[in-house]
Amino acid sequence: MNGLLVKRICKALSFVLIGILIFGVLQQIFVPKRFPYDKNNDAGKLRYFLGEEEDSMDVLVLGTSHSSRGILPMEMYESYGIKSYNLSTSVQPVEVSYYTLQEAIKTQKPSVVVWDVSGLYIDYADLPHWKMIMDEMKIGKNKELFVKEYLNRYRDTGETLISLMFPLLEYHTRWKELAKQDFGNIKRNKHYFSKGGQINSTVLEGISVDDMNVITEGLMQNTVKEVSEYNDQLFYEGHEDNVLYSVNIIDSNKEWLIRIKELCDANQIQFLAIKVPNAYMPQWYVSAWTIEKYKKTQALCGEIGITYYDLLYDTDLQLDFKRDSYDSGMHLNLYGAQKVSVNLGNYLKEHYQLSGEHNRQWDEDFISYQKVRKVALLELEQDFSTYVNKLAGEYRDKTIFIAASDDMSQGLNETDLGALRALGLQEDFSGAFQYSYIAVIENGYVKYEALSNRPLAYNGKCSRTGREYELYSSGWWTASGAFIKLDGSEYAVNSRGLNFVVYDDERGLVLDSVSFDTSVEDHIPTRNNEMIKQLEEEFEQYIMEVEDNSRAYDKKQNYL
């Protein structure tokens, strides 16, 4: 072989390798960055999981959104040293759980796989619930089999094996949608601090478990369809069998469950089926976890030799769906998820041999988790005095904006007044019935405070970020209203009572917005749940993209 030919071959190989490299980089950019940017779908976790140190996990969690939002690995790590990763996603089909596990055990050798049984009753999964995992799988035999299973299920999408194996071919048209996170995630801290668990920091109450099962009993007894009608003066009356509620497990889901168990057995992994609690109207929500589903699932697991632990019916977590859910009982918020995670962690500790050893990386990630959890707990707080005491203590270094609407004084008691005094506020609220009121507190110092029987307004600039703020308050006699604006954007709830906005001037982020109705004794809080969700997501992204990456950079510099 002459030298010229060798040069041509080397040149061609170099060209191919550069092309592959460019293709890989572009694919990373164009594939949607779903988690934590699209928390509605709990997607985008696999790429972070694949960045974890190999063979570092004790437990893997799979399943639907119930387990994604109800099992927080860092809560189990804090209490028991259990290192787990939550790879659950919204409406995760059992097939997807199987192939996700196949992918996960390429890099991890867990002692236990925990799977939420909600998937047994799913037969309506849409295409995205497959592709949110598929897109992030590495090229290989497992992904090929997964894609073929998908194409066998969805035959008329126009997609091909090649386009699904290489998602750039599908997402190259996203160039108009590309955002900062699409480029920033090429070089990222691969460790995601929540380890796949999703924190939700809003409250929307639902029905009780007892009420759910009473409704279920009524549905099961209603098995006859009755029709009486007049049609063109002809009368018809008919009866026919018609079942309103059934708990039949889909045969194909049962088969895939057996395959998951066999996969675990083949890899010497213990398999635990669980159910994360929920309570909802069973006629409206197919995943409502009724006593009938519990019995059916328990029997199935016993039949095929799977250990089953139901966190709703096999134990008492003291769940209160008026407080522990963020969407009327369908899923758990942080309050409920903490109860589930600690209980599950204790069950795992008692029934399985897990190391329980802490390590440096997880300890560092836990620091970030604590920051997010702390803010989420503020956003969830329902008690007025406890909330104000948190502002005076844990959040003393933040900027607190307060504006009253309608009346804010009639329901205040001595405990409430003591908490307000701890913030440094001086006004005497005893004669403030239906008055206007404004306060601005920076780093524990009361910068401005005013009370009047006429409307009040105050403008200023935040000392660090320079953001401009505007406050307005009007009592009942002068057309009730309140606003708290930052750079022109409204953050106040504008409800009767005291409206609070908590601003982190160092990070440039609003942390919470709430109104407590201090005109009445029980001080009912009001929050805009969509706003709180957005604030929580912005804070979580900041921790991940700024503080985690900064920490990773500092570690690298120190190492160098």
Quickly state the pLDDT bin for 187 (edges 50, 70, 90). Answer: very low
CA angle 150, 118, 104 (to 5 degrees): 55
According to the model, what pLDDT value does residue 41 have? 66
CA angle 199, 204, 205 (to 5 degrees): 120
Long-range own/partner contacts, residues 547-556 (CB < 8 A, 24 or more apart): 547/368, 547/371, 548/189, 548/191, 548/193, 548/368, 549/188, 549/189, 551/189, 551/364, 552/189
**Which residue carries 């134990």 as its tokens?**
315
Higher pLDDT, 538 or 44: 538
Quickly state the pLDDT bin for 553 (edges 50, 70, 90). Answer: very low
- Which of 281, 282, 280 is closest to 246 using CA atoms? 282
CB 174 within 8 A of CB 30: yes
pLDDT surpasses 60 at 25? no
Domain ranges of the chain: 209-241, 383-547
| pLDDT, tens only, 292-320 | 999 999 999 999 999 999 999 999 999 99
Residue 448's φ and ψ, nearest 5 degrees, are -155, 140
| pLDDT, tens only, 349-369 | 999 999 888 889 999 999 999
CB 46 within 8 A of CB 87: yes
pLDDT surpasses 60 at 168? no
> Residue 434 and residue 406: Cα distance in Å, rounded?
6
pLDDT surpasses 80 at 24? no
According to the model, what pLDDT value does residue 1 have? 56
pLDDT surpasses 60 at 81? yes
According to the model, what pLDDT value does residue 332 have? 97
